[in-house]
Structure 1
Amino acid sequence: MAFEICFSVAMLFSLWLAAECDDLPFEVHQVECRDHYVWAVVELAFAGEDVHFEAVDETGIHPITEEYAAMCGYTASVLPLSGLVELRSSYFSCHTENKDGVFKLNFNLLVTHDGHLVRYNFNKTCTPAAAWSPREITCEVNYMEVSLRNEVTCSSVKMADDWNDALRAPYTSAVSDWQVVFQRAGEQSMPMNVSEARKQGYWFDLMDERLVFRTPYGQPDSFSTEMSGVPVEVVHATLFSRQSWVVIMVDLVAACSMDEGSYDNGYIMWDIPDMLHPLVSGIYDTQVNVGVNGKLEEQPVAEQRGYMVEKHNATVMISIPYNAEGGYRKSLHLMGDLYEYYVFHLYVEQISMDEDDVNTRLRFQKTLATPLLPRPVFTENRTVLEDRVFTVYLGDVPEDVKLTAVQLNGHMYIVPFINSSGHTITEVVHDNHTHDYTVQVPFDHHVVTEQFSREDEAIKHMLDINFTLTVLPENEHFYHHTSVYALTDASPPEFEANCSETGIIFKMDHRPFDYLWFISIGSERLTPELAAEHKYNMRNDSQSLVLEVPLFTDGYQYKDFSLKGFLGTFEVLVRDHGTSDVQTQVTKSCPFSPKEFIACSTDGMMTVMVDLSWVVALGGIPARTNLADKYCGPKEADDTRALFSFPLNSCGSIIKLGKEYVTYENVVFSTKTQALKYPSDSSNIQGVKLQCTYALAGLHRLFSVYKFDSDTEGVGQIVHPAQSPEVQQEPIGFNEVLQTPGPAVRHTRPFVKQPPSQHIRVSSLVKNLPKGTRGATQLQVRYNGL
């Protein structure tokens, strides 16, 4: 038996009560009229997570609690991923004013600021753009809602017998007041009036043109079943009333997919049945539209984003790429690893057409989330060896993860690095909501460790990096570790050389692989014993080697002599430990300006600058002084000093030959003190005695040719006369003379041209000395100036 549903009901509302509160700042909220509800959001940073809403109408203020929201058509949510607090209010909600298809809604937002509860008001007036379908069903996240047009063409489909049996009891027990029965699994509840149903959480409302039924999920009168393999929650309510001899019965069925969704091969999938419920038969066409965040997308846009809607038998399968636009992504640190998940607020519209060309519009609001997906960041060694800089790339870092610190070989640095740290870090943000970091550390940075790799025969530079990454906004830390190394040719140690007033200072910082080389001065290896022998000052600790070479000690070379001074050059050699080959040499030249000096070269030149203050004190003039040969005068002179440079075997020099040494001696005379000839007893000379002493073992020729050739520089002495005013003030004994070994001073020509003579070995000359005098007697040979 078929029943004709023909009625017209009007419900009149006069709704408006202005709550005494502040208006919500427009820059922190947004309110929109959607197709079947009002959407309002407030920035989470403004509202906070402890936020509450109130519905306001002419009857007063009504707190929207969780239970009250499900019964009255409100959905309030805190959405931390989008940073919003959201309220969705059905146009048919309990406290909406509906007049001639215009819906007015008024709300309060309650937030806590600085410990005080503050109430803000916002409201909205909406006129839906699209006409209502004869049957509208909404599957919200917390309730189901059905609305029917009050004038519906009677169905041409004959009802089944079980349907007629189910309606017989309401028909026979109908009274004038509206009553309702709930049917499930072939059973039905006892009739109850609408007010009693509201007490149980059901909402029935007769509006201007529509009948509305709303129920929370999980009510005692709902039941779960499967439609085409999809779990569905169903509420089947029959509303009836006897009006005179006519019984009006309205069958209200809400069926919502309870599929929790699934994740497979990069897609979030959700299923809905093609047919709502067996009671709704005769459906021959179904259209499904998909969107997110309460808005449907046009078909081209949906396809571009990768949304797919496929029908398998009687099941509609919706698939969305997990990282498609419109979703929300969140990083999560769990048990030392980084994960991510994606959340979609899916919005689906299903339009079904029956045989009477009456359509049913079903709307779903469903929140779907992927499982936790591993989200590893990665590092890449982008070091270019020629740059001698470690370049390490940290990539695929999600936008809600920040690099906050970097540990380099145990040394912690907070990001961003300070400019003076010696290393750098740069960040690049990408359009795919990720960013990356590049850390650069020079090979010679103090945090980089080095060791010699015998396998590679190279220096191995090593850097251990531990990145500290922080997940926002929870500020949870996790770590990503990597190690890099680079091989470079083993380079000899490097010295830093600086001049001082008294000599040259060499400094070398130790490295772990410095044992591959050793340091030498000339051909002799630098040791503490050698330094002591040559009167070098050497300090060698775990950090560095410092060698101070005083002026006039062994190893110096001198040039550019003048009254202003000279250049002193000292050379340090770095030799291969295995072959003793010279790998590098560090040569440092420094200007020196001592009061007086003497240099005895390997090629037989004596260069001396003498302080003649005592001559001046006696009325003499330094420029008029001369050597033993009166024709050998100074090259340069000033008020108190004179510079002489001459071959050892000229200018009246005498030679004193001992067993192991030979000494060349000359004298600086003044016209005030000059003797007629060089006295045999040189201790009585009234002048400045000049001496150069050489080891016989290092001389290649002596008394044979006038080309002097010595392996080493001679030891020079300047001996002032005992009766000079200076000496009278500060007596200097013969054993307390200025003794200055000097380097080679090479001249292109001798001062005096002398005839060649035969080659005579010194050893033969000493051999022919009378017995008993070889060790004690000095052989004196006079070289007269020619």
Structure 2
Amino acid sequence: IICQIPYRLFCLLMAAVGIQAQQTPSINDTQIINLTPGLATQCGFSFKFDPMGNAMFFASLQNCFSQNMDDKMFSLVMQFRLPGNHMTEDPVYRVGKTCSYTPWTSREILCDRNYMEASEQSIQAVASGYKMTAVVFSPSKNVMNVDEVQRKGYAIANTPTRLVLRSPHNAEETYLQNVAGVPMRVLSTSTFFEQKWLVTRVDATAVCPTPEVITWYMPKHIDPLFSSDAFTMLEVYMGIDAKRLDTEEMAARNYSVLVTEAHIIVEIPVGAVGGYFKSHIQDDQYFVTYTIEPMLELLWIEEVAHENTSYKVLFPITTPPMARPPQVRNYTVPEQAVFVLELGTFNLDVELLNITFPTMVLTVAECNARGFNVQEQRSPDNTLKTFRMEVPFSDPVVFKERRAEQGVTTFTLQLIYGLVIFPEYAPFSHSAVVDAVLLDIVPPSVTGNCDQENFHITVDYRNQEPFFVVLVGKRLLNHEFAQQYLTEGDTDFTITLPFSSPDAVFESVHSSSVRSRLDVALLNPYNNMTIKYFSLACSFLKTLTECFSNGTMTALAVKVESAPGLNPGQLTLSDPACGPTYSDDRFAYFHFTVNSCGTTRKFINNVMLYENEISLPDELEVNCSHPFFRLKVSCYYVANITRTLAFLTRPRDNEPFAETGTGRLMVRMRLAQDASYNTFHQEEDYPVVRYLRQPLHFEVELTTSSDPKVALVLDHCWATLNEDRDSRPRWNLIINGCENPEDPYRVVFHPVEADARVHFPSHVKRFEAYMFSFADDAVEPSGQVFVHCDVVICDASSPTGGPCSGQCVNQDNLKRGRSCFMLFRPWQTITELIGR
């Protein structure tokens, strides 16, 4: 053993035999510990073979088994067993060494082939009386105690003056970071130490490079192919699998080609498109290799011989095996009472065969049948996979331990994943132990009472966060339900529900009361287990039968719990022809006279008793599938009684009359597309373009009235060049309900007939005007033209003359409505007419 300072012990074992890592023991005093690959990574050991086949072992000075003397001297004893010819016992070699190392720097970091190690000076933190309590990993902020850190494959320890942290390169809490263009693996932690009321923290970070790039050096001057040193390289191309790639494809795949004086250098990221990963097993440890076959095409010309040469080489490259120890990621939320685990990450050639639990071995299909929901999940680029499973805390494979003094219950799941690599069918396994701690929560209390109409249920969850859902009857308490019936307090809430709510059930019915019951259950939202069950039953005064002095009766039949299959709509009175006036799935309401529907009458002293019975028809009651239901209803009337009623009369002072009121009527004017008046221009059609001699078809309609006695009459219509109805110039189209006599192109009125759109022809007026009407010698209109109309609303049943006698009749003493303009613009105006 040689002391390689700084920081490592080195042992060269001169032997031409292959030594398996798990066959290499280590000795600490008299205790022999088998140094497996996993333990070697966790404790700071590594090995390799030199070109002669000699095994070379390396150990960190601060490995798990060295004797540390004040961080100055380190002693290690190891024992090697070399496999022989199986005829005799394997020889054992025992070696030991003591190394010194001073002085230490404040922070020392070691990157070995299978682990990374950080050593931080922490004299105060490791002083007497301080206890290591927790480790926080960044950036995930996961918090673990020391035992959990060790179980996950990390190593953390105190020496007399230092804190030592060690991790596999691909541990769950490590992450990749690009540092100056170089991908590096980072582990960052904060370790907390406590002493009574004092807390101190020591940060430790390790950063190590990763073998993430393949570099291929090709000589630029291939001597056997050249007759002289004078040549010119004309072309250099790169390809994959004998296919040439252009510059864009190379950039997309992050390939690079660099031509120097002596070499052509090709760099390919490990995992780049064009290659593939393959899984391997060595000593039950998972490794991967990456294989890719790059190609170089060179074209050069020798200046002396003036000969050009095309040179192509395909060069398969496979990386050395890279350790990819599987990690079990624990996504368990204890309150959900389910272990949620994810094992990965693997290449696509790995399959999960079975899972071994302490009491049984289950295949994947058997796990899913048991409810473990084992699923294979793939990465977005479909190159990697993980295996996810869910195991309920309630399953027998989970070990449960209640710690009453701590008020918690611990759930432990031990399992071994059985995996295989295809197509070689190479088996391997990965074991894991996961724990979950659940606080023993005091169940909430449920109480209740009733008033004359309602149930009142109070749930007290005692200063704890509600961890349950509420089932009221058969309905979950959701947001809408809570808004209507729930009142919240600081540590409780109250549900107030009517006794007739569909969520309650009727237990029994009496002549003047109904007994109703409300069931409430508090459920675990993750497994639907009942945390608390509460039932409240009360009798509510309710008049089910009413008797009226005019000889009619009403009765309400209620569906009770003992008759769950009853259809109230099938109930009848004694006469099967008398069914319910109203019914639903819970009630049937009957209304009948006392001398109908089979009602019986008998006299008792001075009282008449009328009785009837509500039941199912005989043909349904004989069927055993229908429940038995009978409800007797009765009314008592006094046989002989006198009532006195007094009233006075007096003549009317005057006759009633109708008082004049005020109302609003809406009128609209539209421009039709043609003389059929079936389609009209919409808002987006405006402004509408028309040329001289082209007609314009207008329709004016009373839109809000359904009174057939109302008639609409056009009084005046005219056109202007802007929106102002009083602007000049002005072209009159209709004057006093008639065509403008001075207009050579007079408007034409069109009759209106009732059709599917026009229900009241008296509400609609149509007329046709020509574009000549908007021009004269003095003014030539251009741009937009606006049309305005004044209308008169008349009582068609009582014409008063003037315009109300029909179109073209002049009268000046009428209340006229005034419309807004209608224009050859993209909007439609609505007119409000106010009249008395």
Given the two structures, how large is their TM-score scaled by the length of structure 2?
0.27
Q: Which has the larger radius of gyration?
A: 1
